[in-house]
Amino acid sequence: MSRIEATVEELLGLLPEVDELELLRLRIIGAAVPDPGKAWDSSSAYATVDKRIVSAEEVDRAVQEAEESLRSYIASLYEGLRPIFRSFYAGQKDEAALQLVALGEQMEGGGRLKGARQCYRSALAISLPLLDKGPQILALRRIGRVSLTLGDFQESGSHYERSAQLARDAGEVRGEVVARTGYANVLAWQGRWVEADARYREALALLEGLDGPVPSVERAQLFNNLGNIDTWLERLDDAERLLGQALEMWRTLSSPHDMAICYINTAHLLEQQGRFADARAAYEQAFEQPVPHALRSGISSDMAEMCLREGHLSQAEEWGRVAEEHAIRSGSVYMLGRMYQGRGNIARARRDEDGFTFFEKALEIARDKGYPFLEAETLRDYAELRRQTGGTEEAQAYLERAREIFHELGAVRNLAGVDDVLAELRLRNESLFESGPEEPEHPLAAAGD
């Protein structure tokens, strides 16, 4: 029997697991729309992108667009290889290494993160014996950057450290500043905020020793980062001062992405101060910047989390759906996973067991694409939903696996948090064993908006 539409799940099931079809998968996801026939079905509230539908016409268009994009990508890939070979045969290995970095940057910009890392590793291998350490310093930094994006904190940190050391030995102050900033970013992601703060300040001192207090992208980014760290360390007055100075610099430097990050960090600060209306305005200013859909998805997820803290569950769900639309349009599988983790937390706040579908989808993406930090955070949050719905043993297993990953990544603050929850869970189990079965927990009433 013929049909005019199919679900994303059905269509992706038709595609072999080959890398060349990854772009087509993303195009199909991007073309999908919610099933209008299930708009009033209660289960639609928990439907992931797999349950969206795509018409036959849209699939044809997706295939054509993906084929054209793949042809263009292959052509640019081989075009990028030609100058690398020419430089190599001309004895210019430093140029070959830099061209490999440029090729990796092109791939990274297109979301091909693992391919980009391979280009950077090839550049590093070529540059190792060279007297000019510039290409090696740059290749190390690029490996550090893409590894951080992939959630591989240990690899990222080690490469940033090596880059900073080489830059210092070579007298390349600006390169050392960037590498030190990158290493501090890794420490921040690991929750090692005091150490991150020290490394950011070392980088700032180096930069100001070179340029003085002159506004620059590097200086403004450091102010962004220091303001964010001060927020986490609850030095709120310092955070407000630094982020205000960063915002003034971004107004002269014209970098919408970095300005949006500054507004996001400011919103986090305002939330800590309990100024939720001002935080909402800061998020909206970030959202208004001409930034990619991936960042808009992240901003929407942050808005949803803030609504949860305020007890506005319906608003949180609305922002969760906005985050989903932008994640789909971004073509970023990582943002899809991060967004579904956030939507799972919204369902958890309602103590709604059906929210497991969001956590399961986030885990599927994290494991399939190799995003360990996302996997660990999702397991941690999923465990609480399982605990709420009576799955204590399953919750403990999720937490123990999350603990293993956080330990491997060196994410000390996350690790400590999971240890606290595990200790509480074990104490609770011991208490239940001594006193007998307890009454099931009743869901709390949802807060009104």
Contact at 8 Å (CB) between 182 and 159? no
Rounded to an integer, what distance in angstroms lies between the CA atom of residue 421 and that of residue 426? 9
193 falls within a domain: no
Rounded to an integer, what distance in angstroms lies between the CA atom of residue 25 and that of residue 39? 24
Rounded to an integer, what distance in angstroms lies between the CA atom of residue 382 and that of residue 347? 10
Quick one: tokens of 435? 């006193």
Residue 10 belongs to domain spanning:
1-76
Which residue stretches of 39-92 are H helix?
A: 56-89
At position 248, the amino acid (one-letter code) is E
39 falls within a domain: yes
- Decide: helix, strand or coil at residue 219: helix
DSSP 93-153: HHHHHHHHHHHHHHHHHTT-HHHHHHHHHHHHHHHTT-S--HHHHHHHHHHHHHHHHTT-H
Contact at 8 Å (CB) between 270 and 278? yes
344 falls within a domain: no
72 falls within a domain: yes
Task: Identify which of 426, 372, 435 has the alpha carbon closest to the alpha carbon of residue 401.
Answer: 372
Task: Identify which of 27, 45, 35 has the alpha carbon closest to the alpha carbon of residue 354.
Answer: 45
Count Cβ atoms below 10 Å from residue 44 Cβ, excluding itself.
14
Residue 276 carries which DSSP code? H
137 falls within a domain: no
pTM for the complete prediction? 0.85
Contact at 8 Å (CB) between 382 and 394? no
State the distance between the two ends of the chain, measured CA to CA, in whole angstroms: 47
Question: Quick one: pLDDT at residue 432?
Answer: 54
14 falls within a domain: yes
Backbone angles phi, psi at 53, to 5 degrees: -115, 155
Rounded to an integer, what distance in angstroms lies between the CA atom of residue 342 and that of residue 323? 9
291 falls within a domain: no
- Decide: helix, strand or coil at residue 54: strand
Question: Quick one: pLDDT at residue 376?
Answer: 96
Rounded to an integer, what distance in angstroms lies between the CA atom of residue 121 and that of residue 1? 51
Question: Quick one: pLDDT at residue 447?
Answer: 37
**Residue for token digits 């939903």?**
385
Cα–Cα distances (Å) from 105 to 111, 236, 250, 424, in that order, read 10, 36, 24, 46
DSSP 34-52: --GGGTT-GGGGG--GGG-
How many domains in the chain?
A: 1
Task: Identify which of 79, 149, 87 has the alpha carbon closest to the alpha carbon of residue 113.
Answer: 149
Largest separation between any pair of C-alpha atoms in the chain: 80
270 falls within a domain: no
Cα–Cα distances (Å) from 333 to 147, 268, 285, 355, in that order, read 16, 25, 25, 20
At position 327, the amino acid (one-letter code) is A
Task: Identify which of 209, 185, 184, 182 has the alpha carbon closest to the alpha carbon of residue 198.
Answer: 184
Question: Quick one: pLDDT at residue 437?
Answer: 47
Give the residue ranges of the chain where pLDDT is below 50.
Answer: 437-449
